[in-house]
Structure 1
Amino acid sequence: MFEIHLDATYAWLGLAVVSVAAVGVAAAFPTSPPPDADGLARTVDSVADGEYPATAEHGLAAERIRLASGSVSLGDDRGTARAALDAPRITPVVRPPAAAPNATTDARLRRVLDGAPPDAAFDDPAAFAAAADRARAADAKWTPAPDRLTVRRVHYGGVRVTLVG
């Protein structure tokens, strides 16, 4: 009456091992999804595809960002997300990281992105176009992400530029 069946012991041990493995797999899952690069891409595209000057902001929940000519990437410890842009071209305006304060785009572009009229920051549309071309030609690198990203489409003379930063 009090005998132990050998197959029952193995069944309980097997169930315990499977339970521990299931808990380990569940604990390895990230607590939240990677950052939303698609939402950011939609915001950039909505401003860049417009005919008229416009400004938009998009909140970010990411630690780093990379702005390239045809895509935007966001990353943090939960993972990395990348989204393609439909906009023909954007001009990244990178904030200088603390470690490399000189490794940034033209400060005048930052002023325009922050709301200054282009004619207050640049002497003429050609200087504005040249600064935008230099910013677009720079290699896309991972930089610390701000809490909010600003997108601004600006017209100055015949120059139409979409600043993102």
Structure 2
Amino acid sequence: MIDAPIETWYTWLGIAAVSVLALGTAVGIPSGPTPDANGVADTIDRVAADEFPATAEHGIAADRIRLSPTRVSLRGPGGSTTAPIRFGPVTPATNAESDDRLRRVLHGEPPQRVFDSPDALDRAATVSRGRYDRNPRWERAPNRLRVRSIHWEGLRVTLVG
């Protein structure tokens, strides 16, 4: 007989090794799809590049978001992805650390009602961009991300939150 008998120790050791390898591969498979950071960045870019004021929303299927003036990252059960924002820098207005006035404009209030002048809006946007550029942090992701571009007396600002 040419075959090794099934009782030999190295046969059982080989079967155990293959079983452990198969289990490790099955456990390493993500439990869901990777979040779509490219789709979010594309939505932001479309609004930021528009020559007219615009607003858009993009659904997010992720648990966490990290937004900076030049990139967006999403993290979920399927892993994490990052995409560049090509028509930035944009102004994040996502959480309680953001200027409340920026969030109000993002959600539809006219900037003339919230800020005294375009310079005041520009200063608030610059502070927000600096804060998020130096320290982009993972935050709880909203179900929908809102993007709004503001054009006010020559000033162009794209708010994201």
In structure 1, which of residues 94, 104, 114 is the aligned counterpart of residue 107 of structure 2? 114
Residue 38 (structure 2) pairs with residue 38 (structure 1): yes
Q: Distance in 1 between matches of 2:120 and 2:24?
A: 58
Count of matched residue pairs: 155
**Structure 1 unaligned regions, length at least 5:** 97-103
SS in 2 for 1:161: strand
Q: Which amino acid aligns with 2:25?
A: V
C-alpha displacement of 1:5: 8.2
Moved more, 74-83 or 119-128: 74-83
**CA deviations over 1:14-58 (Å, ceiling 9, x no partner):** 346424431331122112232111111111101101100001101
SS in 2 for 1:42: helix
Counterpart mapping for 1:134-149 below 5 A: 134-138=127-131, 139-149=135-145
How large is the RMSD of aligned CA atoms in angstroms?
Answer: 2.1
Instruction: Show the counterpart of 1:85.
Output: 85
C-alpha displacement of 1:61: 1.3
> Would you say the 8 A contact 2:33–2:77 is kept in 1?
no
Counterpart mapping for 1:116-131 below 5 A: 116-131=109-124
**CA deviations over 1:66-109 (Å, ceiling 9, x no partner):** 1112111111343221101111310000222xxxxxxx111011
Instruction: Show the counterpart of 1:21.
Output: 21
**Pair 27,140 (structure 1): closer, same or farther in 2 beyond 3 Å:** closer
Moved more, 110-119 or 27-36: 27-36
Q: Distance in 2 between matches of 1:87 and 1:120?
A: 27
TM-score normalised by the chain length of structure 1: 0.84
> Would you say the 8 A contact 2:53–2:149 is kept in 1?
yes
Q: Which amino acid aligns with 1:143?
A: E
**Structure 2 unaligned regions, length at least 5:** none
SS in 2 for 1:82: strand
In structure 2, which of residues 147, 153, 156 is the aligned counterpart of residue 157 of structure 1? 153
Q: Which amino acid aligns with 1:49?
A: A
Q: Distance in 1 between matches of 2:3 and 2:20?
A: 22
Q: Which amino acid aligns with 2:22?
A: A
Identity of matched residues, %:
46
